[in-house]
C-alpha cells in the first residue's frame, strides 16, 4: 500500500474510534448519575403525589401526599412560617413543573404537639434554625386545598410497618448528597428500600420516637431521601397498589445517605388526621388513643404566619444537629 494511503487509513481508523468513544461516554455517565441518592426515575404516575411550590417561581420545596380529595398530609416543618397564599401544590404528575393539577391551599394545620419540645430537644432559641423547632414524633401537618381535585387519593395503611418491611419512597429532593449541591430533579424519583430497627436511628444528637417514627434503611450509605424530600411519602405494597405509611421528616447526617433516615409514622397519627379532616381543620382534635395522654392544649390551625422567603424542607443547620429534609 502506498505510504499516503496507509496514513489516510490510520487517520480514518483513529477518527472512527474516537467517535465511538464520544458516543459511549454519555451512556456511561448517565448510568453513574445519582438519582434521589440511589433511586430511579418514577416508573409510573402516582396520582396522590404532590409537590409544594412557591407561587412566585414554581420551584419545588417539599413533598406531600393526597389522602382526600381536598386534603394533603406533609411534614410540619414544611409549612412552618408559611402563608397559604404564597404556596401552590402540583398533584398527580411525575414532573413538578408541568402536568397534573395545580391547586392552592387555604389552610395549614400542624399537629398540635409539633411545637412542644420533648426532653432531649435542648437547644436554645439562638441555636435553632428556621423550621427546625418541631417536636420529635410530631413532624406532621395537614394541608386543606381551596377546592377538591380530580386526582385519586391514597389511603393510610391499617398497621405500622415492622423492621424489615419493604417500602417505596418518592420525592423531588436533591440527587446529590450534600445540602445545596444541586437543584431538584425535574422528574419524580423513587427508591425501593425497607424499614430497619429503631436502634439505628437513636443517637445522642436527637431523640427518636419509636411509637411515632420510622427508621429507614440507607443501604450501606448508598441510598436515601435527601433535602427537598421532606413531607413526601413512604409507601407499602397493598394488593395491586400502595398504601401510605410515612412522611419524610429528617436525616441523621449532613451527608444524606451516611445514616438511616427518619420518617413520621402516619399510621400512628391516623386518629388525629381523621378527626382533623372531619372537623374541617379544628384546632382541638383528641390525640392518638395509643398515646395514653390527653388531647393537645396549645394546638393551632389556619394560615401560618411568616414569609416563604426560606426553603421549606431545606433549612440550614449547624454541625452536630439533625438536618430536616
* Structural contact between residues 216 and 169, judged by C-beta atoms closer than 8 angstroms: yes
pLDDT value of position 245 = 98
Q: How far apart are the first and last CA of the chain?
A: 67
Maximum distance among all Cα pairs of the chain, rounded to whole angstroms: 97
pLDDT value of position 273 = 97
- For 128, the 3-state DSSP assignment is coil
pLDDT in tens, 148-163: 999 999 999 999 999 9
pLDDT value of position 175 = 83
- For 91, the 3-state DSSP assignment is strand
User: How is residue 35 written as a grid cell?
Assistant: 438519582
Catalogue the E-assigned strands of the chain.
40-41, 49-54, 60-68, 71-74, 87-91, 101-103, 105-110, 141-145, 166-171, 189-194, 213-216, 233-238, 241-250, 261-265
Task: Report the C-alpha gap between 60 and 228 in whole angstroms.
Answer: 8
Q: How far is CA 281 from CA 60, 83, 111, 230, 285, in A?
A: 25, 16, 11, 22, 9
- For 262, the 3-state DSSP assignment is strand
pLDDT in tens, 250-292: 988 888 888 999 999 999 999 999 999 999 988 554 445 443 3
Paired residues of 74 in beta bridges: 141
What H or E segment, with its residue span, contains residue 19?
A: helix 3-32
Classified by CATH at the fold level, domain 40-291 comes out as Thrombin, subunit H (2.40.10)
Task: From first to last of the 325 residues of the chain, give the pLDDT tens digit.
Answer: 555 554 454 444 444 433 333 333 322 322 333 346 888 999 999 999 999 999 999 999 999 999 999 999 999 999 999 999 999 999 999 999 999 999 999 999 999 999 865 434 444 333 334 345 689 999 999 999 999 999 999 999 999 999 999 999 999 998 887 777 777 889 999 999 999 999 999 877 768 999 999 999 999 888 889 888 999 999 999 999 999 999 999 988 888 888 999 999 999 999 999 999 999 988 554 445 443 333 332 333 333 333 333 333 333 222 233 445 6
Question: Which residue is it, cell 377546592?
Answer: 147
Nearby residues of 209 by Cβ (< 8 Å), 6 or more positions away: 118, 136, 137
Handedness of CA 134, 138, 139, 142 (dihedral sign): negative
Amino acid at each position: 500500500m502506498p505510504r499516503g494511503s496507509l496514513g489516510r487509513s490510520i487517520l480514518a481508523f483513529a477518527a472512527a474510534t474516537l467517535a465511538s468513544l464520544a458516543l459511549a461516554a454519555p451512556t456511561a455517565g448517565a448510568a453513574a448519575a445519582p438519582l434521589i441518592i440511589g433511586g430511579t426515575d418514577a416508573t409510573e404516575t402516582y396520582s396522590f403525589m404532590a409537590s409544594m411550590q412557591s407561587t412566585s417561581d414554581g420551584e419545588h420545596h417539599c413533598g406531600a401526599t393526597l389522602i382526600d380529595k381536598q386534603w394533603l398530609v406533609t411534614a410540619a416543618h414544611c409549612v412552618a412560617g408559611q402563608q397559604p397564599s404564597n404556596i401552590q401544590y402540583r398533584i398527580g404528575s411525575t414532573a413538578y413543573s408541568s402536568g397534573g393539577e395545580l391547586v392552592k391551599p387555604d389552610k395549614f394545620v400542624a399537629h398540635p404537639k409539633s411545637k412542644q419540645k420533648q426532653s432531649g430537644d435542648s437547644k436554645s432559641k439562638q441555636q435553632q434554625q428556621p423550621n427546625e423547632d418541631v417536636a420529635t414524633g410530631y413532624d406532621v401537618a395537614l394541608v386543606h386545598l381551596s377546592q377538591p381535585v380530580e386526582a385519586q387519593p391514597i389511603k393510610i395503611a391499617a398497621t405500622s410497618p415492622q423492621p424489615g418491611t419493604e417500602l417505596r419512597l418518592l420525592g423531588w429532593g436533591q440527587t446529590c448528597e450534600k445540602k445545596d449541591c444541586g437543584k431538584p430533579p425535574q422528574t419524580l424519583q423513587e427508591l425501593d428500600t425497607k424499614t430497619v430497627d429503631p436502634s439505628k436511628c437513636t443517637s445522642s444528637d436527637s431523640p427518636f420516637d419509636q411509637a411515632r417514627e420510622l427508621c429507614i434503611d440507607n443501604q450501606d450509605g448508598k441510598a436515601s431521601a435527601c433535602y427537598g424530600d421532606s413531607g413526601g411519602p413512604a409507601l407499602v405494597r397493598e394488593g395491586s397498589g400502595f398504601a401510605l405509611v410515612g412522611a419524610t421528616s429528617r436525616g441523621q447526617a449532613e451527608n444524606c445517605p451516611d445514616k438511616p433516615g427518619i420518617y413520621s409514622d402516619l399510621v400512628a397519627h391516623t386518629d388525629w388526621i381523621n378527626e382533623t379532616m372531619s372537623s374541617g381543620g379544628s384546632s382541638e382534635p383528641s390525640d392518638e388513643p395509643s398515646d395514653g395522654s390527653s388531647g393537645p392544649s396549645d394546638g393551632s390551625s389556619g394560615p401560618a404566619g411568616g414569609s416563604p422567603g426560606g426553603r421549606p424542607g431545606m433549612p440550614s443547620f449547624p454541625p452536630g444537629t439533625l438536618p430536616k429534609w
